[in-house]
Chains A and B, each alone.
Chain A
Amino acid sequence: MLFLAETVISGLMAGVMYALVALGFVLIFKASGIFNFAQGVMCLFAALALFDFISPGGFMDRWFGFYLPIWLGVIATMGVMIILAWMIERFVLRFLVNQDAIILFMATIGLAYFLEGAGDIMFGSDVKPLDIGIPQGAVDFLLDDYGLYIEKLEIVAAVTATVLVIVLAIFFQKTRVGRALRAVADDHQAALSVGISLHSIWVVVWSVAGIVALVAGIMWGSKSGVQFSLSLIALKALPVLILGGFTSVPGAIIGGLIIGVGEKLAEVYVGPFVGGAIENWFAYVLALVFLVFRPQGLFGEKIIERV
């Protein structure tokens, strides 16, 4: 029973991470209809940049002889992600307005290749332990009183994710930019016709997605080090999108949690019978089975097709 609880909780925590990555996808898809395959690499890129700002022996230390305190490093990395967003808009998206969705999708794969190569060249491809002072080890009182083993890191991740989602919700509901974003998500042309600039909206939304990527990158990086495989968590987050829908923020979060728990349970209770290592595909199958019963996803409304 205790083991089951631990499995479920650690699944929930993994789910939070998936949800964070899925959130990045959803933000960009909602605002621009782009399936941004580079989201995973953006997590990697952000984590690498952060590492190099704040670590002794990092890029900054080697070239300038000093490194930044953690809080400044995080801000600097946010700056990097915003610059990246601007560059993506300026040099890629701007030229691809009104292209088919598949072309934009391909362009983001090209972008993923570019960032992957660039990240390797600039930051090197060895595994880097990212330590930004998140406490490690088990939560003591839970372990002592209930015998539950839960990582402190996972608690921090869950809290951070919650805060992030609340901040985003406020940003979307209350600010002028947020309203513009929702308008664009609803109808591109109508938004343009009331004077919203698509270019600046795209920069904003890619920046936000970049910052979400940074948060996800920090969490994953603290857990298992910053390495190339970080960019692959994007692939793990994709079934979340089938489940929750490409355009639903709550869908991304709930979907992420379901996938996280489902995957952990399957790994523990089903995996051993089929040779293990099923976590690569199990989430996809879970999402597909779910779709059979509810094709519109978790939060999608039933679409009435018109001709």
Chain B
Amino acid sequence: MSDLKQELKEKIITQLNLEDIAIDEIADNDSLFGDGLGLDSIDALELIVMLDKDYGIKLTDPKEGKKIFESIEVMANYIAQHRTK
């Protein structure tokens, strides 16, 4: 699980161009949106595509995304349970 969390942090920094943020600056329970990392709706779309492309998880309900992308911890748990690749 810790490998997956590390992988997710790396992917988020690279794919969302968070060039000023280092991996160790993102805590597992930090909020990804709002006051935490400050991601926005375009980032949410990027994360939905990433789940589909890299882990074979298709999100059909946008409300589901809001919960899944709460933090790295929540995201990693969801991916571990639902991944198809």
Q: Do A and B come from one complex?
A: no
